[in-house]
Amino acid sequence: MDSGSDSFRSSERRRVGLIYDERMGKHFDLTDKKHPESPDRIHEIWNKLQDSGIAERCTVMDGKEAKDEHISLVHNRKHIDFIKSISSKQEKFWKEMTKKYNSVYFNQGSSEAAYISAGCVIEVAEKVAAGELDSAFAIVRPPGHHAEPNQPMGFCLFNNVAIATQYLLDKRADLGIKKILIVDWDVHHGNGTQKMFWKDPRVLFFSVHRHDFGTYYPCDEAGSHKMTGEGPGKGYNINVPWEHGGCGDADYLAVWDHVLIPVAKEFCPDIVLISAGFDAAIGDPLGGCCVSPHGYAVMLNKLLEFAGGKIVMALEGGYDKVSIANSVQACIEVLLQQKPIIGSSEAYPFESTWRVIRAVREKLSSFWQSFSERLPVKVTSMSSPYIQVVSSDSEDEYNTFSNRVSQDLEKDIENVIQPFSDLKVNDGTGITSQARTNSHTWREELSKIDIWYATFGSNMKLSRFLCYIAGGQVEGMRKPCIGSLDKSKPKEIKWESFPHRLFFAREHTATWGPGGVAFLHPESNSDEKAYLCLYRITLEQFNDVLLQENNSSFDMNYPLFDMTDLQSIEERKCVPAEAVKNGWYHNVLYLGKENGIPILTMTCRLSDVDNFKSGKVGMRKPSKEYANTLIRGLVEGKQLSEDEATTYIQEAVSRAL
């Protein structure tokens, strides 16, 4: 890893702005004191910078509220009026609006905090553009990059970076800012910022984020690498979507070197604005990645070569207080340029990182000359096996999952990122010979064991289930399945009913789009009756289906559910697949035996049912395409008529848990 020390200039004292205002701490969640987007985030950063002496080396400024005329450059009038009115309302209104919008909360301090947050970023952006400051960091909240022109979402009320960008381009043309590079390194896709500059060639928007094939928040395809802009803005929207969590310094720096830096050189921006979220940092409870403070420092240092070092950083996400404070300090030290960047890493990027980089470059090769050549095999073959890091799928599930990574940053880096010397990469797959041996051994063993896989959702329709075996997709599905390694069709198919409750919950799936998906209550109830289609498949195939049902990139060097689990499940009744614990169907449930062969299904946990009951995670009817697939499965399986099947689904939707 390049330490970037060549840009160290001890003879110069850079003028770095630091803007912060205590009033932004008045915005907090009245109903949840442990909400991750809390005032403590910015308090911890500010205290860290003061205690370390960093703050006194900067030009410190007080916050300043944004004007409506500037906010209206990217947000519509209705949205502005709504945010402005929040603080004058009562708690009942705030709670109603919290339910209406996606992952936001409101209280009496929300309006003021939103205006100050946006105003702070405008203030420092203007001073950097005018040359009064060399660079600046805005310690602001609420964050902004999820906020869309007409609505708040994802903890964000106003889109701070987008407002400042449009302000410089449209209101301060006298400053000579004609092209702006926005770098969004928050672990979530900057959907709001993307929408605002979708057709604008003056703004190159770059976002690197977890996407997990559309299942990671914001849970849509907007963050795909295929989303490149429209009209005159075509090619000026660059998304780098991680396929899974666990990405760290090596992965991000590979993207910098082979995507961001080459295209930034071609674009030649007049100023760089960074949506600086630190939820990809080690220890973050939402991000599930492992970027170190050193990694952020190197990424930032590589951007200093553009626009004469005119960089404005605005805080976005980041929910581990220690990690976010350490990462911000590391970045401000880079902006000050008063000491070289110490440290290095000899880790490889994941194999999936190279796959994503190649896809991004290929998609944008017609727009950027630097992407026209293929990356050398000797570069992309340097990859690391995937290491599973468990995290939540979206912000609105933040309290369902515990933090899997400790606060000991150096130890985490050593444990999570394998040193160069320890890797034995024999080909482009990034899998060692030992890993391949493990995979071969367990597959050979489990391919000899049959189980009944009992399905209660769309897999009741045979053609749909075969997507998990042979790969592909059927009508209504938004993404294909990869299939099983063993593509043999089921040896038998049976139908049975079981005393369990069928219900529908959650808001969206990558496969079917908006709408709930089917769950089977883990506990039996003699008053309930659920129709299940049983497929006789091997335990090896069941593992591959379990993987695909949970949308995980877990490296199948080892099984998710092995012989030990099978031998114990009759007594235990259920066995969680820990490696895909962030999935919705990771709880393997035992339903009995058929002709001496165990019947297994996969569903949610009892704790998830409690979240559905309390409203913490929403109950919702399925999409039309998904419901029709369930109905067709029941009809084709000769269990119910079409009218009966429709009624069966409707009753499952309408009855409260």
- Active-site residue list: 146
Q: Point out which residues pair with 181 in neighbouring strands.
A: 204, 272
**Beta strands, E only, 167-228:** 180-184, 203-210
Q: Which two tokens stand for residue 226?
A: 């295929």
Amino acid (1-letter code) at residue 475: E
Rounded Cα–Cα distance for residues 1 and 346 (Å): 6
Give the max Cα distance, the chain.
82
14 burial via Cβ count (<10 Å: 0-12, 13-18, 19+): middle
Amino acid (1-letter code) at residue 164: A
C-beta contacts of 549-552 below 8 A and 24+ residues apart: 549/468, 549/583, 549/584, 549/585, 549/602, 550/577, 550/580, 550/582, 550/583, 550/584, 550/585, 550/586, 551/212, 551/213, 551/215, 551/510, 551/583, 552/244, 552/388, 552/579, 552/580, 552/582, 552/583
Three-state SS at 178: coil
Q: What Å distances lie between residue 652 and 65, 615, 644, 656, CA to CA?
A: 49, 17, 12, 9
Q: Which two tokens stand for residue 419?
A: 């040193």
Q: What Å distances lie between residue 321 and 46, 128, 209, CA to CA?
A: 11, 28, 20
String of DSSP letters for 414-481: HHHS--GGG----STT---HHHHHHHHHHHHHHTT-EEEEEE-SGGGSHHHHHHHHH-B--TT-SS-B
Q: What Å distances lie between residue 624 and 575, 584, 652, CA to CA?
A: 32, 21, 15
39 burial via Cβ count (<10 Å: 0-12, 13-18, 19+): middle
DSSP strand pairing (493-498 vs 574-576): unpaired
Q: Which two tokens stand for residue 505?
A: 């919950």
123 burial via Cβ count (<10 Å: 0-12, 13-18, 19+): buried
In the chain, how many H helices and how many E strands? 21, 18
DSSP strand pairing (135-138 vs 16-19): parallel
Q: Point out which residues pair with 210 in neighbouring strands.
A: 242
Contacts (Cβ under 8 Å, ≥6 apart) of 201: 232, 233, 236
Q: What Å distances lie between residue 389 and 403, 546, 638, CA to CA?
A: 10, 18, 43
Q: Which among 550, 627, 618 has a CA at the least distance from the CA of 588?
A: 550
**Beta strands, E only, 4-45:** 16-19
Following CA atoms 253, 254, 258, 261 in sequence, which dihedral angle do they give, to the nearest 10 degrees?
0
Do 404 and 245 meet the contact criterion of CB atoms below 8 Å apart?
A: no
Omega before residue 142 within 30° of 0, cis:
yes
Rounded Cα–Cα distance for residues 293 and 343 (Å): 10
